[in-house]
Amino acid sequence: MAILQVKNLTKHFKNKKWWKINSQPTTIKAVNGVSFTVKEGEIVGLLGPNGAGKTTTTQMLLGTLTPTKGKILYFNKEFDQYRSEILSQVNFSSAYIELPSRMTVWENLDVYARIYEVKNKNKRIERFLKEFRVWQLKDKKMLNLSSGQTTRVLLAKAFLNHPKLLILDEPTASLDPEIAVKVREFLINQQKEYQVSMLFTSHNMAEVQEICDRIIFLDQGKIIAQDTPLGLVKKLKKAKIKMIITQGKKILEKELKKKKISFKWKNQEVFFETNEKIIPKLLYQISDKGVRYSEIEILKPNLEDFFLEIAGKDKKQ
Amino acid sequence: MNFNRIKAIIIRHLYNFKHNLDRLSDSFYWPAMDIILWGLTSQYIQEGGGEINNIILLLLSGLVFWQIVWRGQYEITVNLLEEVWSQNLVSLLATPLTINEWISSLFLLGFLK
């Protein structure tokens, strides 16, 4: 069952200087015809370089921005018509939002639990504050918390209403590695136990690769790739090679230049990147010409490489 | 309209009073000053007697009732700014709370004050 269906979602911002009466407004296409679905119990990553349209998309999904065009359906119901009913089953957390700073942690969560009409709210608040290891801070004002502690309180808020869909905008940013691991484990457990679906944005590629079932790659407001983390990585045919050369440095350089492969030296170590398919042939050729190496490491591409490839193309354009 | 959500927003601002002397004085000091000032003025005019005085008294009563309308508008404006300052507006708008419920709760809060 599809928890979320997004059809042709578009957001254009018009920019017109009021004092230039005859000028035509310039249109910024922040999100341009994006369509995707999130199934029950699925964790979907929304990735892309800065300005790709991730935040604008999540804001439209939360109803804080009105789309220029397109449809958003949660649980097969139109978001426009059933806003309150839908948002009572959805929640979100972001590393870039805050809660009223002069209120305590408990007071803030109490207010949100009341808004979501959570049953046994005190027990539920206690459970999640303990889960995210901020129980001891319950009587502290938000302004006295570190950014990592604030992030954990916001995560506790996100789970208060038994959400069927969670929208998480860099939920582990500013968390120390130990807590970040715990949070990731917790998210995966929630997915398995309660079939909670998640839409996840993050710049931590290893994290995305670890927890997402599927990744949607946005660039300049459009979806440019959509696949499993492994599927996306497989689209890259390049591999990184590191070799420790014991003999034939000059010959190797000559061969790499001939094949137009750029390389870098660090003492006896050489680093270069090339198409996966030609590696066996290349190794045979250089060995044949007298190049000897004591160690070789072939690094398969990962999600970060895919991201860099996309970001690189973006810069060239 | 959901009363529980209206109540939640009122509680959110009552929690705020606990920690802010400025919000507390804003809620009790100025309304008290209004009541004392206009109350004493009304009483003074009433004791003076006469038909013109009754018209002034009527105007003063209208002024006191106008305070209720003004308070409602003031609460909405100040509390909207408060949510913006505390970066809580996005979190609030992403909940089932509707704009009507939010405005009603603030109007009610202003009326209570």
List B residues 71-100 in contact with A (Cβ-Cβ < 8 A). 82, 86-88, 90-98
Backbone phi and psi for residue A268, each to the nearest 5 degrees, phi listed first: -90, -5
Across the interface, whether the CB atoms of A100 and B86 are under 8 A apart is answered: yes
Under-50 pLDDT residues of chain A: none
pLDDT of residue A121: 92
pLDDT of residue A270: 92
| C-alpha to C-alpha distance for A216 and A201, rounded to whole angstroms | 10
Length of chain A equals 317
Residue of B9, B86, B96 with shortest CB distance to A116: B96
Across the interface, whether the CB atoms of B15 and A97 are under 8 A apart is answered: no
Handedness of CA A178, A58, A162, B18 (dihedral sign): positive
pTM above 0.90, yes or no: no
pLDDT of residue A174: 78
Domains of chain A with CATH codes: 237-300 (3.30.70.120)
| C-alpha to C-alpha distance for A134 and A276, rounded to whole angstroms | 47
| C-alpha to C-alpha distance for A285 and B34, rounded to whole angstroms | 94
| C-alpha to C-alpha distance for A219 and A302, rounded to whole angstroms | 19
Burial class (CB in 10 A: 0-12, 13-18, 19+), A221: buried
CA distance A123 to chain B (A): 18
User: Which residue of B95, B101, B105 is the best one to mutate when testing the A interface, meaning the one whose CB has the most A CBs within 10 A?
Assistant: B95
Searching chain B, which residue's CA lies closest to the CA of residue A166?
Answer: B94
CA distance B82 to chain A (A): 9
- Residue listed under structure tokens 């209208």: B62
A107 part of contact set with chain B, CB < 8 Å: yes
A154 near A111, Cβ under 8 Å?
no
| C-alpha to C-alpha distance for B88 and A228, rounded to whole angstroms | 34
pLDDT in tens, A77-103: 999 999 999 999 999 998 888 899 989
Across the interface, whether the CB atoms of B96 and A85 are under 8 A apart is answered: yes
Domain that holds residue B13: 3-112
In this structure, what DSSP letter does residue B95 have?
S
pLDDT in tens, B52-102: 777 777 887 888 788 778 877 888 888 889 888 888 888 899 999 999 999
pLDDT of residue B82: 86
Within 10 angstroms of residue B58's Cβ, the number of other Cβ atoms is 10
| Pure H helices in chain A | 54-62, 83-87, 105-115, 121-131, 147-159, 177-194, 205-211, 229-235, 249-258, 279-288, 303-316
- Residue listed under structure tokens 């060995």: A287
B5 part of contact set with chain A, CB < 8 Å: yes
- Residue listed under structure tokens 């539920």: A124
User: Which residue of A86, A115, A153, A155 is the best one to mutate when testing the B interface, meaning the one whose CB has the most B CBs within 10 A?
Assistant: A115
Handedness of CA B51, B54, B56, B59 (dihedral sign): negative
What is the total count of domains within chain B? 1
pLDDT of residue B86: 85
pLDDT in tens, B12-53: 988 988 888 887 787 778 778 887 888 888 788 777 766 677
